[in-house]
Amino acid sequence: MNERNVSALTGVVFDETTEITVGELCEVCAVEPPLIEKLLLEGIIDPVGGQRDELRFQYTSVRRVRTVLHLQNDLGVNLAGAALALELLDRIEDLRRRLRGGDG
């Protein structure tokens, strides 16, 4: 494998237990901090710890923020509607996990 391919494969692997900061969440999702504040107030994302100025989030918050952006930008759904859609998607996933015999 040449040097170019090796550099293309390097990076950080994130999983659901990875915690990220507000700044990292903003960077990964290409959003500004005021949107993160709105998502917090709406209950769409929840911090896992830290003081107000140093909140941390599970990496799964990235998926939630990106889903909200998709619902808003592509489908015209408002923030409250996006919150409801995410709640329903969470319930569907929980039911699927239960059907597969997970601990649900």
Give the domain CATH number at 69.
1.10.1660.10
Q: Does residue 82 form part of some domain?
A: yes
pLDDT digits (tens, 9 = 90+) for 3-40: 444 444 445 666 777 899 999 999 999 999 999 999 99
Helix/strand/coil percent split, the chain, to 5: 60, 5, 30
Q: Does residue 51 form part of some domain?
A: yes
Q: Does residue 26 form part of some domain?
A: yes
Q: What domain range is 54 assigned to?
A: 16-99
Exposure string for 9-47, b = 16+ CB within 10 A, e = fewer: eeeeeeeeeebbebebbbeebebeeebbeebbeeebbeb
pLDDT for residue 18: 87
DSSP state of 51: -
Q: Does residue 7 form part of some domain?
A: no
Query: In the chain, how many domains are there?
Result: 1
